């Protein structure tokens, strides 16, 4: 358990001196199987695994769930230890954002649509904290989940644009047995909502089937998704998009890969999910 950037960086530098590779899993805590799948991959690929737990205030909007975001540090520590995490980096917000903090990392057009449109400033907050964490941990490889697909793309672009010396691995979405994508926010759902939300993945599987069957009519695909989701009473669609997974631009008929991405509001909860069809 490390709480200050200075100590974390010293430890990382020491391990690098020993020629150890460092794998890094940045999280906001409330660890679930999605996070743990990242840790397991990092354990296989790297000598040392660092997991950070930091609920990053600057990536939440003023009317978002920063304060009530679930925090379970003891359970997280237990899970991280059980998976063989070597260091947990868990700084307090004033350590990361002291008085007079003012420099941010500003992402570009990849961040403007989708969740970036729904959550202004969100990806600026994400890029800023990830840049800080990369400088503190100096990892060889960082691990992200595909659930936050746009986040992963925005971070990859930041690394490229700012010449950061960090490799990125994006790992598949881990799901509950009924298909719901794992997310710390799932615990906000009440029983009736929880029963309905598997409809999101169900609709994505239908889209996948349609595309694999040769359908390239994005209007038709969206309509199918919408119809399925609308069978659920509490699930309100925010967007359904068919995109090129590299550019996040609307798919072209000649694209070989389709990213189908959806966001929905369920009560006050915002859920996202996606599939890539190739």
The torsion region of residue 152 among left (phi > 0), alpha (psi -120 to 50) and beta comes to alpha
| Catalytic, out of 16, 32, 35, 122 | 35
When the beta carbons of 164 and 276 are compared against a second copy, the nearer one is: 164
Closest CA relative to residue 212, chosen from 263, 258, 147: 258
Minimum distance from CB of 124 to a second copy (Å)?
8
- R_g over Cα of the chain: 19
User: In which order are the strands placed within the sheet that holds 87-89?
Assistant: 87-89, 48-53, 22-27, 141-145, 167-171
Interacting residues with a second copy (CB under 8 A): 5, 9, 100-110, 124, 127-128, 131-132, 135-136, 138, 157-158, 161-165
Go through 33-57 and write b for each residue having 16 or more CB atoms within 10 A of its CB, e for each that does not: ebbbbbbbbbbeebebbbbbbbbbe
Contact yes or no for 134/140 (Cβ under 8 A): no
Minimum distance from CB of 152 to a second copy (Å)?
14
User: In which order are the strands placed within the sheet that holds 258-266?
Assistant: 235-243, 258-266, 269-277
What is the separation of C-alpha 112 from the centre of its chain, rounded to a whole number of angstroms? 16
35 catalytically annotated: yes
Minimum distance from CB of 240 to a second copy (Å)?
25
In whole angstroms, what is the distance from residue 8 CA to residue 18 CA?
Answer: 16
Minimum distance from CB of 246 to a second copy (Å)?
10
Minimum distance from CB of 266 to a second copy (Å)?
32
In whole angstroms, what is the distance from residue 24 CA to residue 144 CA?
Answer: 9
The residues assigned a catalytic role are 35
């Amino acid at each position: 358990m490390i709480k200050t950037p200075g100590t974390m960086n010293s430890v990382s530098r020491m391990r690098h001196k020993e020629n150890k590779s460092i794998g890094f899993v940045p999280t906001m805590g409330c660890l679930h199987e999605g996070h743990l799948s990242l840790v397991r991959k990092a354990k296989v690929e790297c000598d040392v695994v660092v997991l950070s737990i930091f609920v990053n205030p600057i990536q939440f909007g003023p009317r978002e769930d920063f304060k009530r975001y679930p925090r379970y540090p003891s359970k997280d520590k237990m899970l991280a230890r059980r998976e063989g995490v070597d260091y947990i980096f868990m700084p307090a917000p004033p350590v990361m954002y002291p008085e007079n903090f003012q420099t941010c990392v500003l992402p570009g057009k990849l961040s403007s649509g989708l969740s970036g449109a729904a959550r202004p400033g969100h990806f600026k907050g994400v890029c800023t904290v990830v840049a800080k964490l990369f400088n503190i941990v100096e990892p060889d490889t960082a691990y992200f989940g595909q659930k936050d697909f746009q986040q992963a793309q925005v971070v990859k672009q930041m690394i490229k644009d700012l010449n950061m010396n960090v490799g990125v691995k994006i790992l598949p979405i881990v799901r509950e047995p009924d298909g719901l994508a794992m997310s710390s926010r799932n615990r906000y759902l009440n029983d009736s909502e929880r029963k309905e939300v598997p409809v999101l993945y169900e609709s994505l599987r239908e889209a996948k089937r349609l595309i694999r069957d040769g359908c390239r009519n994005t209007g038709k695909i969206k309509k199918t998704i919408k119809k399925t989701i609308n069978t659920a009473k509490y699930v309100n669609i925010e967007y359904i998009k068919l995109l090129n997974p590299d550019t996040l631009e609307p798919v072209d008929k000649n694209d070989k890969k389709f990213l189908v991405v959806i966001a929905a509001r369920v009560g006050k909860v915002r859920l996202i999910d996606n599939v890539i069809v190739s």
